[in-house]
A = this chain, B = another copy of it.
């Protein structure tokens, strides 16, 4: 006559699956991840997990959406309190100091991008996500222009995409190279120089 548990409880469950999944995706990457892992990690049953997420793809997309929501909020406050160029530098340099696990998860994401190219669901999601990232960067740059910090010498959306490309490239390579073989720090410095000159930072 009544639902067995509260919405809250279900949300809790969902979250605990997502949390466990994130850890496993980070550790093993996307392809190697199997549902069994999440079943063991949460202690739930096969059917239980499947009642929350239809499959691995659904699980991963939900995870990305969840993360996106979080970081979106954080960024808003960051921007309101700092110069745009300082914010950008902060984000970029964060990549240098990122936890190993952050890089590992970024790798899993790249892997997902690639492996999902034949899934129309995932592809649509990825295109939206790319668009979102690109738009976000554009709006960041435009805000900088409005505030008089930048006068770019290339179309804003090209700069934004160049930015994304560079970090996608770095993400892949960090998968199979140690950061000193890759010279990622130095590459990031070079990139930051180019970014500054494209934006015409004053």
A positions within 8 Å CB-CB of B: 29, 31-32, 107, 110-111, 113-118, 123, 126-127, 130, 154-155, 157-159, 161-162, 164-170, 172-173, 175-177, 181-183, 186-187, 190-191, 194, 198
Q: Inside 8 A of A123's CB, which chain B residues have their CB? A: 176
* Nearest-CB residue, chain B, relative to A115: B31
CB within 8 Å for A183 and B161 given contacts A29-B117, A31-B31, A190-B198? yes
The answer for the CA separation of A130 and B181 in the assembled complex, in Å, is 10
Q: Quick one: which of A110, A111, A162, A181 has the most chain B CB within 10 A?
A: A162
How many copies of this protein are present in the complex? 2
Q: Are A113 and B172 in contact (CB under 8 A)?
A: yes
Q: Are B168 and A187 in contact (CB under 8 A)?
A: no
Measured between C-beta atoms, what is the minimum distance from A186 to chain B in Å? Answer: 5
7 contacts between A and B (CB under 8 A): A111-B114, A113-B172, A158-B186, A158-B187, A162-B190, A165-B169, A169-B169
Q: Are B165 and A170 in contact (CB under 8 A)?
A: yes
Q: Are B173 and A130 in contact (CB under 8 A)?
A: yes
